[in-house]
Amino acid sequence: MHGVREYSEGLPVELRRHEGRLVLRAFSECGNRYTDVDLLDVIEWCKNGPGSAVAPVAALVARNSGGDN
């Protein structure tokens, strides 16, 4: 996606289709890792605010940081 970049390192972001959904893939760690984010979930969150997220942000942070919850 020309003009869209991963925030920390400025690496590329791709728009892909996965199982019928549009997914943003942001590369990190010199391109060795990536994170997939459902684009429609992001749009829903932007339209309706944090309460519309699929999972609570605290749960996502704990899961991604290796926490127990």
pLDDT in tens, 5-25: 888 888 989 999 988 889 999
Give pTM, 2 decimals: 0.62
Report CA Rg, the chain: 13
Whether residue 51 lies inside any domain: the answer is yes
Whether residue 20 lies inside any domain: the answer is yes
pLDDT of residue 49: 77
> Side chain identity at 8, as an amino acid letter?
S
The Cα 14–Cα 67 span in angstroms is: 28
pLDDT of residue 55: 57
Whether residue 7 lies inside any domain: the answer is no
Give me the number of domains the chain comprises. 1
- pLDDT confidence of 51, banded at 50, 70, 90? low
| Domain encompassing residue 29 | 13-64
The Cα 26–Cα 36 span in angstroms is: 7
Residues listed for the chain: 69
Do 37 and 45 touch, CB atoms closer than 8 A? no
Whether residue 40 lies inside any domain: the answer is yes
In the three-class reduction of DSSP (H, G, I as helix; E, B as strand; rest coil), residue 57 is classed as helix
Whether residue 49 lies inside any domain: the answer is yes
Whether residue 42 lies inside any domain: the answer is yes
Whether residue 44 lies inside any domain: the answer is yes
